[in-house]
Structure 1
Amino acid sequence: MMEYRTEHDSLGEVEVPAEAYYGVQTLRARENFHITGVPMSHYPRLIEALAYVKLAAAEANASLGMLDEDRSRAICRACEELISGKLHDQFVVDVVQGGAGTSANMNANEVVCNRALELMGRPKGDYEHLHPLNHVNMSQSTNDVFPSALNIALILELRELMEAMRHLQHAFARKGDEFADVLKMGRTQLQDAVPMTLGQEFTAWAVTVGEDIQRVDEAEDLVYEINMGATAIGTGLNSHPDYARTVTEKLVEITTLNLKQSPDLVEATQDTGVYVQLSGVLKRVAVKLSKICNDLRLLSSGPRCGINEINLPPMQPGSSIMPGKVNPVIPEVVNQVAFAVIGHDVTISMASEAGQLELNVMEPVIGYSLFQSINMLRRACLTLADKCVSGITANRERCRELVEHSIGLVTALNPYIGYEKSAEIAKEAMRTGGSVYAIVLEKGYLTREQLDEILKPENMVRPRYTK
């Protein structure tokens, strides 16, 4: 038989499992919010960040004479355990919840409180000696705790995302070097354009990922501003006059992050513009990754009836009815991640717009959407790099064949034989289906040696002066 302890709040008494570190308010929230099926424990960075905030608050209150040493020490030790990864299973509230994150804050208050009580040699629920609100939540409100913890968690998550993006960037760059000597046809509007190298194509993708790493890094800088000390609406009610400055200093010391207090805590408590900005950058990353994956799917299409310039590594059989078919499943899944991130951006935009007066109560869904976007993009980058890009091979002969047969080749020959002859060759190639390369030789406009010199990959990768 499970044992219970009785806890109460302003709504009455509730039986809480005796072994649980959470309490009455967490239990109510757990019962109220069956929304995503994803509990807070799914996001360890958020729990870690909440513990950082509670630890900094306890140290700040103690240094200002607001909290006695014994209680402060016990709270800090409990927070340190959470930061180390313990008791995360006790964070049971759904990540999407009503109340502007109050349930998340109370889940943290109750777990920290009950573990601290144990460290003091007292039973869980002995709130006369240490209280989740009077002591753990001292000088705080959900309205400064939740967004500050969210910002810290986002910084930690964004660092991991950028590392994954660098991994993908390097994978593309390595292929750029490997394919530097592979001549192929460039395309615009899905039509033949002018020759280039396959290395240039992959190097361009490395560059575009690198640009987006810079954009994410710039967006991350905005997340360092926090509103700790704001309490309910930014006025700092129920806190020591020096608390906001002190708790921010403690957070910087504990996290080693360059956090800074918002210059206007009233504005900071109601404003969620930073999340809109960050989400927009994540959408940019998603859109560009999806475009690259579209290109990979096109270039590998076939194998007999498509472009077939590159081979993606075969990851799994592609059909339950067509034997031997292998699909570009990795680019496909990254496309789908991009669609989800774009959808999350819409959610974040609407949730941010829904803020009213001194608070935006929609921050839980904003946080959930950002975590989803960041984590999916991080995994997508690693998956694309390791299970696709690193194993791509070039069909060198196919690439060369397409160049020699492409009408677009005449553009590269134009400086050598003139526009009129180039147009004549293009028309004949279109009429007969013949190779531009072969027609030029047949008409004697250039020798094979001259053609091969013009079409050397190193002559295709940069501007070249021709008399």
Structure 2
Amino acid sequence: MQTFRLEHDAFGAVQIPQDKYWGAQTQRAIGVFGAGREQFPPALVHAFGQQKLACARANRRLGTLDAALAEVIEQAAQALADGHFDSHFPLTLWQTGSGTQTNMNANEVIANRANQLLGQPLGGKTPVHPNDHVNRSQSSNDTFPTVMHLSTRLALSQALLPALVQLQAALQDKAQQWQTVLKIGRTHVMDAVPMTLGQAFASFAAQIAHGIERVHGCLPRLSSLPQGGTAVGTGLNAPPGFAEAFCEALSQITDTPFTANPCAFEGMGTHDVFVEVSGVLNVLAVSLSKLANDIRLLGSGPRCGLGELIVPDDGLTSSIMPGKRNPTLAEVLAQACMQVMGNHTTVTVAGASSLFELNVAKPVIIHNVLQSISVLSESIVRFTEHLLLGLEVDRAVLARNVEGSLLLATALNPVLGYDQVARITRKAADEGLTPKQAAVALGLLTEQAYDAHVRPDQMVGR
């Protein structure tokens, strides 16, 4: 049977499971909001550990926290950052819009672990108090947005950017590999003039390169932190220099440069940077959707579709059609992009809901931003490693399509003029002829003259 301990706060006594490191405020929050299935990801919890560690170091340095207490708080905060207390964050993300309950949860877990390290039982609040010591010089109002910045900054640099770099390199390799492979370009999803498959993949690679640039463009604003603003941005109850000392400590902890936001009011009352980040992710989703859908279409078939690309076999098939192969990972990537686009709408509305000195949609903003980063990062890696790298070309299909394309006759515009070339393409289309056959039948060119002017490999430009 589960046993309980009795804890007290300003509102009275609370029963808490004996083996849990959270405290009275977290337990009360469970009663109010529930311990729902939708919880903050571990990345946010770990960022809280790093934030509390940096705060303890800053408070110790500035003399506002006893060195002995700071040391044990730092140990407990490091354990939280290392993932040892993930299961002690039971709250749903659907909570107070400032994220206060999760900040209190972090304070209580760290305080209880610190006291335990000092030989005290859980729930005693001595000698380490969750508010007086772990939350010293802080408010949820500056702490939660700081953790939002930190977790997003790290997720972008540690997960999304490496995935994008790998994808861009693979696309560039394909562009180089297929730089001389002719294909028919398509505009309005209809046949157009020739190009190379390498040019198509160079276009994909350029889109992803632009996406990488956009992500890098967000990082400076994510690295500017509101910590030290405390309740409304004035820095009440924080010692002079706390913001700077905190950023210095956090930079050392994460090996990532962070600076104090010169206007903490902006960093707490608005979250424009997260709308910006979500917008960048939305643009990436648009780019990746084109990539996934083009590959799906170019690989459609194998007998009755375009069939120009050969998607690698992933070993999965239909429940009713034996042996059927589907572009599963392209579909995964496309669905991830759909999710990101929807998330961006939520982040936009939440960002526009800032009121006075506090945005109170912080949990839903960070949930959607981190989810977008996560689903993109994971789906990009799977798509790159298990589809793109194994993608092959059906050269016979490509050659047949190029040879039979009506719009090859476009190369004759300077020789015959637009109207005469239109006669060629119309006759070829109406009678099922090749452009060469139509041109000869109309008496406009000999076969030799046609071949001299219509050379697909010379029509692709650079």
The TM-score normalised by the length of structure 2 is 0.94
Residue of structure 2 equivalent to 1:454: 455
Residue segments in structure 2 that go unaligned for 5+ positions in a row: none
- The correspondence for 1:49, drawn from 41, 47, 71, is 47
* 1:232 match: secondary structure: coil
- Identify which range, 415-424 or 300-309, moves more after superposition: 415-424
Residue of structure 1 equivalent to 2:9: 9
Give the 3 Å change call, closer, same or farther, for CA 404–279 of structure 1 in structure 2. Answer: same
Superposed counterparts of 1:240-251, under 5 Å: 240-251=239-250
Q: Deviations over 1:71-128 (max 9, x none)?
A: 1110011112222332222222223322411111011101111111122222211213
Residue of structure 2 equivalent to 1:380: 379
> Partners in 1 of 2:417 and 2:317 — Cα distance?
48
Contact 1:425 1:436 in 2 (8 A): yes
Contact 1:38 1:95 in 2 (8 A): yes
- Identify which range, 127-136 or 78-87, moves more after superposition: 78-87
Contact 2:224 2:260 in 1 (8 A): yes
- Identify which range, 296-305 or 181-190, moves more after superposition: 296-305
1:451 to partner: Cα distance:
5.3
> Partners in 2 of 1:407 and 1:98 — Cα distance?
63
> Partners in 1 of 2:417 and 2:243 — Cα distance?
74
Matched, 1:84 2:85: no
The amino acid that maps onto 1:303 is: P
* 2:29 match: secondary structure: helix
> Partners in 2 of 1:314 and 1:98 — Cα distance?
48
Contact 2:412 2:454 in 1 (8 A): no
Contact 1:195 1:412 in 2 (8 A): no
Give the 3 Å change call, closer, same or farther, for CA 351–436 of structure 1 in structure 2. Answer: same
Residue of structure 2 equivalent to 1:102: 100
User: Runs of at least 4 residues of structure 1 off by over 6 A?
Assistant: none
Residue of structure 2 equivalent to 1:134: 132
Give the 3 Å change call, closer, same or farther, for CA 99–351 of structure 1 in structure 2. Answer: closer
* 1:192 match: secondary structure: strand
RMSD: 2.1
> Partners in 2 of 1:414 and 1:19 — Cα distance?
82
1:421 to partner: Cα distance:
4.4
> Partners in 1 of 2:397 and 2:448 — Cα distance?
23
Residue of structure 2 equivalent to 1:398: 397
* 2:406 match: secondary structure: coil
The amino acid that maps onto 1:436 is: P
* 1:408 match: secondary structure: helix
Residue of structure 2 equivalent to 1:445: 446
- The correspondence for 1:62, drawn from 53, 60, 71, is 60
The amino acid that maps onto 1:455 is: P
Residue of structure 2 equivalent to 1:411: 410
Give the 3 Å change call, closer, same or farther, for CA 445–33 of structure 1 in structure 2. Answer: farther
- Identify which range, 336-345 or 302-311, moves more after superposition: 302-311
Residue of structure 2 equivalent to 1:335: 334
* 2:238 match: secondary structure: coil
Contact 2:336 2:379 in 1 (8 A): yes
Give the 3 Å change call, closer, same or farther, for CA 169–265 of structure 1 in structure 2. Answer: same
Give the 3 Å change call, closer, same or farther, for CA 46–15 of structure 1 in structure 2. Answer: same
Residue of structure 2 equivalent to 1:21: 21
The amino acid that maps onto 2:250 is: L
> Partners in 2 of 1:317 and 1:45 — Cα distance?
32
Matched, 1:230 2:250: no
> Partners in 1 of 2:153 and 2:91 — Cα distance?
22
1:450 to partner: Cα distance:
4.0
Residue of structure 2 equivalent to 1:153: 151
> Partners in 2 of 1:167 and 1:30 — Cα distance?
42
Contact 2:195 2:459 in 1 (8 A): yes
> Partners in 2 of 1:402 and 1:62 — Cα distance?
72
> Partners in 2 of 1:215 and 1:98 — Cα distance?
32
Residue segments in structure 1 that go unaligned for 5+ positions in a row: none
The amino acid that maps onto 2:264 is: L
Identity %: 39
Q: Deviations over 1:178-216 (max 9, x none)?
A: 222221100111111110011111121111111111111
Contact 2:269 2:354 in 1 (8 A): yes
The amino acid that maps onto 1:115 is: R
Contact 2:299 2:306 in 1 (8 A): yes
> Partners in 1 of 2:324 and 2:281 — Cα distance?
34
> Partners in 2 of 1:288 and 1:408 — Cα distance?
28
> Partners in 1 of 2:231 and 2:125 — Cα distance?
23
Q: Deviations over 1:210-230 (max 9, x none)?
A: 111111111222211110110
1:322 to partner: Cα distance:
3.0
- Identify which range, 443-452 or 176-185, moves more after superposition: 443-452
Give the 3 Å change call, closer, same or farther, for CA 387–440 of structure 1 in structure 2. Answer: farther
Q: Deviations over 1:222-265 (max 9, x none)?
A: 21111011001101111212322222222223222221111111
